[in-house]
Amino acid sequence: MSTKDEILQKLRSNTREQYEMPDLSQLTPITFDDPVAEFIRKTTTIAGAKLLEMKADDSLDAVVHKAYPDAKIIASNIPGVKAQLNPDTATVEELEKADVGVIEGKIGVAENACVWIPQAMKERAVCFASEQLVIVVHRDAIVNNMHEAYARIAASQEYFQEYKFGTFISGPSKTADIEGALVYGAQAARGATVVLV
């Protein structure tokens, strides 16, 4: 018997009461009259990210450079963004030096301001190692809740074609210790900006 099996056996033998899983068939997921407005509100409050709405005549490159005028190294593989690093060709070590990473989110969730980001680049480090992260999301890709988001992910083959990884990101990285001192950027980007197209 392996150590893992031994530990699990001890846990099972000391379980006094077992409970059946609750019936979730009656669960009604939250919906909003205006999911886009709710996504905007939660992105700028709960998620702690900045939000920029692109106008029809704006270019994504101009929006990124205006938001981060002092950025010396931008990493992105999105067409039209002038970047010094491309996560399809750069190494992880190079991407760690990026001031700004620009990535595309495929689904925005109004319920919690999360954005589904499938790996669409060779090195996913751009999502986590950049000092600042810019996530581009289309308005028509915003759903009410996580149930709808997972349904879209399950129904689409495009998200996992080349790379078998995806993640939800909601604002900048943050952590707090037991005394409640909140720190931004402890594990990933120190700041995040969502660009709504």
pLDDT interval class at 185 (50, 70, 90): low
pLDDT in tens, 59-86: 998 999 999 999 999 999 999 899 898 8
Helix (H) or strand (E) holding 117: strand 115-118
DSSP state of 85: B
**Percent of the chain's residues with pLDDT above 70:** 93
Q: Is the pLDDT of residue 148 over 90?
A: yes
Q: Is the pLDDT of residue 191 over 70?
A: yes
d(CA 21, CA 137): 36
Q: Cα–Cα distances in Å, from 28 out to 31, 64, 173?
A: 9, 38, 30
- Would you state the structure tokens that stand for residue 133, as one six-digit string? 């992260």
Going along the chain from its start, the domains and CATH numbers come out as 30-173+189-196 (3.40.50.10420)
| The pLDDT value given to residue 102 | 93
